[in-house]
Structure 1
Amino acid sequence: MARTTALLGALGVMLLLTLGLSGCAPAAESTAQPTGSPSDEASAPTATAQPTLDPEGSAGDNLDFFDAVNEKVIADNPDALGMDFIDALVEAGFEKSAMEATEDYSTVGNRAESIQFSVRWKDKCLIGQNGEAVGGYHSVVMNMLDAGTCLVGNTRAIG
Structure 2
Amino acid sequence: MRAPARPAAAFLAGAAVAAALLLSACTGAHPSASTDPAPHTTASDSATPTPTASAAPVLVPGGTAAANQPYFDKVNQATIAAKPGAKGRDFIDGLVAAGFTKADMQLTPDTTTIGLTAPSIQFSVKFGDSCVIGQYGPDSGGYTSLTSPALATGGCLIGQTRPIDW
Q: Kindly name which structure, 1 or 2, has the bigger radius of gyration based on alpha carbons.
A: 2
5+ residue gaps, structure 2: 1-52
Counterpart residue type for residue 73 of structure 1 = T
Count, aligned residues = 113
Cα deviations by residue, 1:61-95 (Å, 9 ceiling, x for unpaired)? 11100000000000000100001000111111111
1:117-156 deviations in Å (ceiling 9; x for gaps): 0001111011000114541100000011110010001100
Q: Of 33, 49, 58, which residue of structure 2 is paired with 1:52?
A: 58
Report the TM-score, using the length of structure 1 for normalisation. Answer: 0.68
SS of aligned partner of 2:142? coil
Corresponding residue for 2:40?
A: none
1:125 aligns with 2:140: no
* Aligned partners of 2:65 and 2:131 also within 8 Å: yes
2:134 pairs with 1:143: no
TM (norm. structure 2) is 0.65
101, 111, 134: which is aligned to 1:105?
111
- Runs of 4+ in structure 1 off by over 2 angstroms are none
Identity within the alignment, %: 50
What is the DSSP-based 3-state SS (H/G/I as helix, E as strand, rest coil) of the residue aligned with 1:137? Answer: strand
Alignment gaps of 5+ in structure 1: 1-46
Q: Tell me whether 1:61 sits opposite 2:67 in the alignment.
A: yes
